[in-house]
Amino acid sequence: MSIDLNMLVLAVDDSGTMRMMMKQILKKVGFKNIIQAKDGNDAIAKLEANEGVSLILSDWNMPGKDGMDLLQWLRQQDKYKNLPFIMATAQADKSQQEAVKNEGGNGLIPKPFTAEEIQAIIEEVWGVGGGDEKAERKFVNDKPVMKIAHIQITDHLALGMLKHQIDNGEVEPNHFELEPLRIPGWNPIVQSLEKGDIDGALVLGPIAMDLFAFDTPIKLVLLAHKNGSIFVRSKTYSLEDDFMGSRKDFYKYKVVDIPHKMSIHNMLAHKYLTKLGLKPGVPGKKAINVRFEVVPPIKMPEIMKENDSVGGFIVAEPIGSNAIAKGIAEMEFVSSSMWPDHPCCIVAMRQEFIDEFPDAVYEFTELMVKAGKTIDTEMDLASEVAVNFLDPMKKIGLKPEIIKSRVLDVPQGIKMNDLYPVLEDLDTIQRYMHDEMGIGVMIDVEKFVDIRFADNACK
């Protein structure tokens, strides 16, 4: 059995940019017949006017009739009660996924997503493929192969430095073999952590806390870095000297792109724009005047360059500095100026790996801490390692001199010489997101963090 690529697909999103991206991604999968709607009401009109719609892919947060309203309406109609419906949304936290399931949705895919990810969830809805058994544990020289996922950002450079040291024979682990897995985005990392396809990941802290809240057996064993993100604004418009006033006017009614809803980036952008007197957020029932859109980090500069409605983006380095170097963006602030030494990405490990191979986790965290300190003291080497580790196919266009001058060797830049997790900082993140932004579920941070590994590594 296979998916019928000739089926009629209805893509719903109030953002013109996101509708364009949805269509491009669906066409990349192979779908030929795609119609679009700008909100729930428009979707109903298009549905009634086009016989034979076989799948709806809808955003959640839209003014008027949103994605959840649309789903509920569909399930109340005999004609559409079984029509496959996938929510494609920035509402990526687990509680929202449960809400979609309870209302009869067939699936939820968090933004940003790739063609491979949307194809996988559509195949799951149609019962195609799936059922693959978890791969057996691999061993090399009686040592477990530790699979650690990461994405292409300098936040994860400590892992790259450790891999470099192992490959060069400078370090030889006694209790594990390291297998870094470069993954294109946060969604597949989340899925791999949930399924146990990987042993650990360098992942956004709020994502890991949300997974933990919904019983994914993971623990924080170390920070991946501190600081390291940047907020840049479009060079399309020039700003006046009046800092607060001109920026309030500039960002009002514009889009600000973020990499994930469950991220420190979302929190800091919200805090900054709120301080300017604005009302930022994702579109929906609540009135906003700055729209957050979740897009793939690597696409942020291109989208801002081509779309005048995008005022800026906040992202992990080196994407922002690369955009500045190319004349697309101007600096707004580095994240550490908003919150010095803040956590961002963490090292999350599956509980079963911790239980079965504690010596490997102790050694891995020790070596990660040493690798982080090497980055701090050997920036020329670290810049070369970063390019080869993060962009081996040379698709991003990273250059060592940009990594060093704009990312590593800046006063308020990324920090990897102190990877010790401060529990109060993690609690600050979850409380702001929960209380001020209405995002996520509160957890017991002490149960989420297995502090013994950091205590040993950072002693």
| Tens of pLDDT, residues 299-351 | 899 999 999 899 999 998 888 988 998 999 999 999 999 999 999 999 999 99
Nearest Cα neighbor of 405 from 151, 154, 150, 202 is: 154
Q: In the Cβ-directed half-sphere of 228, how many Cα atoms lie within 13 Å?
A: 27
Confidence at residue 240, expressed as pLDDT on a 0 to 100 scale: 60
pLDDT at 131: 54
* pLDDT greater than 90 at residue 379: yes
Q: Which pLDDT score, from 0 to 100, does residue 402 have? A: 84
Contacts of 264 (CB under 8 A, 6+ apart): 204, 205, 206, 229, 335, 342, 343, 344, 429
* Distance separating alpha carbons of residues 24 and 39, to the nearest angstrom: 19
Is residue 90 very low, low, confident or very high in pLDDT (cuts 50, 70, 90)?
Answer: confident
Q: How many alpha carbons fall within 13 Å on the CB side of residue 86?
A: 24
Within its chain, how far is the Cα of 284 from the centroid? 21
| Bridge pairing between strands 143-150 and 139-140 | antiparallel
The structure tokens 């297995």 sit at 450
Worst-scoring range by mean pLDDT, 20-29, 134-143, 183-192, 392-401?
A: 392-401
Q: What is the pLDDT of residue 393?
A: 79
Rounded to the nearest 5°, which phi and psi values hold at 106? -90, -15
What pLDDT is recorded for position 51?
87
d(CA 360, CA 142) in angstroms, rounded, equals 12
The Cα 360–Cα 457 span in angstroms is 12
In terms of Cα–Cα distance, which of 173, 186, 198, 197 is closest to 365?
173
- 246-267 pLDDT per residue, tens: 899 999 999 999 998 899 999 9
pLDDT at 285 over 70: no
Average pLDDT over residues 177-199: 91
Residue 131 CB-density burial (10 A; 0-12 exposed, 13-18 middle, 19+ buried) = exposed
Per-residue b/e over 371-395, b at no fewer than 16 CB within 10 Å? bbbbbeeebeebbebbbebbbeeee
The pLDDT of 179-187, averaged and rounded, is 89
Whole-number average pLDDT of the chain: 91
Burial of 325: CB neighbours in 10 Å, binned 0-12, 13-18, 19+: middle
Q: What is the pLDDT of residues 384-401, one digit of tens each?
A: 999 999 888 777 777 899
Q: Of all residues in the chain, what percent are helix, strand and coil, respectively (each to 5)?
A: 45, 20, 35
Residue carrying the six token digits 């891999």: 163
Region 57-83 average pLDDT: 92
The residue-averaged pLDDT of 36-52 equals 94
Compute the average pLDDT of residues 113-134: 80
| Average confidence (pLDDT) over 428-434 | 97
pLDDT at 407 over 90: no
Strand order in the sheet with 33-37: 33-37, 8-12, 53-58, 85-89, 107-110
**pLDDT top residue among 120 and 447:** 447
Q: How many CB atoms lie within 10 A of CB 244?
A: 10
Among 21-25, 222-226, 342-346, 406-410, name the one with the lowest average pLDDT: 406-410
Q: What does the pLDDT read at residue 62? A: 87
Residue 435 clears pLDDT 60, i.e. is over it:
yes
pLDDT of residue 129: 63
Which helix (H) or strand (E) is 204 found in, with range? strand 200-204
| Domains contained in the chain, CATH given | 8-125 (3.40.50.2300), 139-227+342-457 (3.40.190.10), 229-338 (3.40.190.10)
Largest CA distance in the chain: 67
Does 370 score more than 90 pLDDT? yes
Per-residue model confidence (pLDDT) at position 244 = 64
Nearest to residue 282, comparing CAs of 261, 301, 299?
261
